[in-house]
Amino acid sequence: MDKNIPLTEAIYYILLAVRKPNHGYGITQEIEQLTNGRVVLGAGTLYGAIQTLVKKGWITIYSEDLESRKKKEYIITAAGKDAFDEETNRLKELLENAKLMEG
Amino acid sequence: MKKFRIYFDKDKETAWLNEMASEGYALTSFFAGSYTFDECTPGKYTYQIDFSDKLFCVSEDYREFMHENDIEIVQTWGFWVFLRKQNAAGPFHLYTDIDSSIEHYTKIRNMFKGASILMIIAFFIECICAFHSPICYFFVLFVGAMMITIMNVTFKTNRLINDLKEQKGEVIKRANGPSPVLIAGLLLNSGALIMSDSVSYIKHPLQILAIALMGYGLVKTFIMKDEL
């Protein structure tokens, strides 16, 4: 899994946004809110990232109701959570070491 | 309204479509360089052009995803997908980070690379088969011009990818090869050399053009190298 980190910012936030079931538009919106409008994912970027993450088995389709017009939702898998945690630990280490600059 | 244009640069094409939309003309279909526009409220739509993994179609997943995001698939053409979104439904961007942009342009570059190889083969076939007729003259010139154009687009897209990679912090080795113009000149010259002497009225102009390109290519390779 080591070659997977560092994750791109888009991938990291998408994993975060699907900690509970979420659909494409919901993912974009949540990320935009979390970053105060700094990260707004384009449709192509989000589509490509979702395809990659599904292929890697980091996220999976949560619901696909073809009868009603409900949007397709995704949720993070155990493997996805592992990758997210690993990246979070790397980021924590960065922040921890950043304190050296202040001292 | 119909307009005929040939674009090899999808970013310029997108800019033009958005300019048209802002003036009240919305693209509704595209066929081989012919753009059909319907009148719309100025500024109603934003257009984007995507690159599909499939020819003349998109996957069901893709269609569904775009639909869910209020994006309309206007037309698929070759690997290109013309998309639009109503501005009332929010801003419309396709690739918003460097990694996905690099991936996008790499797919485009690889397609043009394949097309370049096909054009080079087609050009040599035209040269071998050239016989005494104005049609042949036209084909040699047309295929030759296409070959050079497509090769140029390939090199341009490659430079764009390198720019993006540099922005990301990667170190890119640049301009250590010959200029694309030199390569184009060499190809045209080899095409002219394998031509039969009986078609000298095609052969000679082609050779003169090839020599001019090779000369300019040499200057670009050795003297103006930094500008590449």
Range of weakest confidence among A63-67, A76-80, A83-87:
A63-67
Nearest residue to B97 via CA among A56, A88, A12: A12
User: Is B228 inside a domain boundary?
Assistant: no
Strand ranges, E, within chain A: 22-23, 59-63, 73-76
Interface of A with B (CB under 8 A): 8-10, 23-25, 28, 39-45, 47-51, 71-72
CATH of domain A9-102: 1.10.10.10
Q: What is the pLDDT of residue A1?
A: 45
Q: What six digits make up the tokens of A33?
A: 């809110």
- Residue B73 shares a structural domain with residue B36: yes
With a cut of 60, say whether residue B208 has pLDDT above it: yes
Report the gap between the CA of B44 and the closest CA in chain A (Å). Answer: 19
Span A52-62, mean pLDDT? 93
Strand partners, B29: B36
With a cut of 90, say whether residue A29 has pLDDT above it: yes
Span A33-52, mean pLDDT? 94
- Residue B79 shares a structural domain with residue B105: no
With a cut of 90, say whether residue B175 has pLDDT above it: no
* Least CB–CB distance from B50: residue in A28, A41, A44: A44
Percent of residues, chain A, with pLDDT higher than 70: 88
Residue B38 dihedral angles phi and psi, to the nearest 5°? -110, 155
Residues 6+ apart with CB under 8 A from B102: B161, B164, B165, B168
Q: What is the pLDDT of residue B20?
A: 94
- Residue from B99, B103, B107 whose CB has the most chain A CBs within 10 Å, to mutate: B99
* Least CB–CB distance from A41: residue in B92, B96, B103: B96
Span B174-191, mean pLDDT? 80
Q: What is the pLDDT of residue B84?
A: 95
Q: Sign of the C-alpha dihedral, residues B210, B216, B221, B225?
A: negative
Contacts of B100 in chain A (CB under 8 A): 10, 42, 44-45, 48-49
Task: Cite the DSSP H helix spans in B26-97.
Answer: 60-68
User: Is B23 inside a domain boundary?
Assistant: yes
- Residue B76 shares a structural domain with residue B159: no
Contacts of B92 in chain A (CB under 8 A): 43
Q: Locate tokens 């797919």: which residue? A: B107
- Residue B71 shares a structural domain with residue B150: no
Span B171-180, mean pLDDT? 73
Average pLDDT over chain B, rounded to whole? 88
* Least CB–CB distance from B94: residue in A23, A42, A72: A42
Report the gap between the CA of B22 and the closest CA in chain A (Å). Answer: 21
User: Is B48 inside a domain boundary?
Assistant: yes
Q: What is the pLDDT of residue B228?
A: 45
Kindly list the domain boundaries of chain A, sorted by start residue: 9-102
Q: What six digits make up the tokens of B130?
A: 């050239």
- Residue B7 shares a structural domain with residue B84: yes
- Give the length of chain B: 228
User: Is B227 inside a domain boundary?
Assistant: no
Q: What is the pLDDT of residue B61?
A: 87
Report the gap between the CA of A20 and the closest CA in chain B (Å). Answer: 19
Spatial distance between the Cα atoms of B8 and B160, rounded to a whole number of angstroms = 14
Kindly identify which residue of chain B lies nearest to residue A9, measuring between CA atoms: B97
User: Is B115 inside a domain boundary?
Assistant: yes
Is A10 in contact with B104 (Cβ distance < 8 A)? no
Nearest residue to B108 via CA among B143, B84, B81, B83: B81
Q: What six digits make up the tokens of B223?
A: 């003297």
Is A40 in contact with B103 (Cβ distance < 8 A)? no
Span B205-211, mean pLDDT? 87
With a cut of 70, say whether residue B176 has pLDDT above it: no
Q: What six digits make up the tokens of B155?
A: 């090199």
Spatial distance between the Cα atoms of A37 and A40, rounded to a whole number of angstroms = 6
With a cut of 70, say whether residue A3 has pLDDT above it: no
* Least CB–CB distance from A47: residue in B62, B91, B93: B62
Q: What is the pLDDT of residue A55?
A: 94
* Least CB–CB distance from A9: residue in B50, B61, B97: B97
- Residue B79 shares a structural domain with residue B126: no
> Higher model confidence: residue B115 or residue A1?
B115
- Residue B120 shares a structural domain with residue B54: no
Report the gap between the CA of A15 and the closest CA in chain B (Å). Answer: 16
With a cut of 60, say whether residue A68 has pLDDT above it: no
For the entire predicted model, the pTM comes to 0.86
With a cut of 80, say whether residue B154 has pLDDT above it: yes
- Residue B116 shares a structural domain with residue B206: yes
Span B61-71, mean pLDDT? 90
pLDDT category at B112 given cuts 50, 70, 90 is very high
Range of weakest confidence among A21-35, A46-60, A61-75, B182-196:
A61-75
- Residue B160 shares a structural domain with residue B209: yes
Q: What is the pLDDT of residue B191?
A: 86
Q: What is the pLDDT of residue B141?
A: 86
- Residue B103 shares a structural domain with residue B81: no
- Residue B75 shares a structural domain with residue B112: no
Contacts of B66 in chain A (CB under 8 A): 43, 47
With a cut of 50, say whether residue B63 has pLDDT above it: yes
Q: Which domain holds residue B216?
A: 98-222
- Residue B84 shares a structural domain with residue B110: no
Percent of residues, chain A, with pLDDT higher than 90: 75
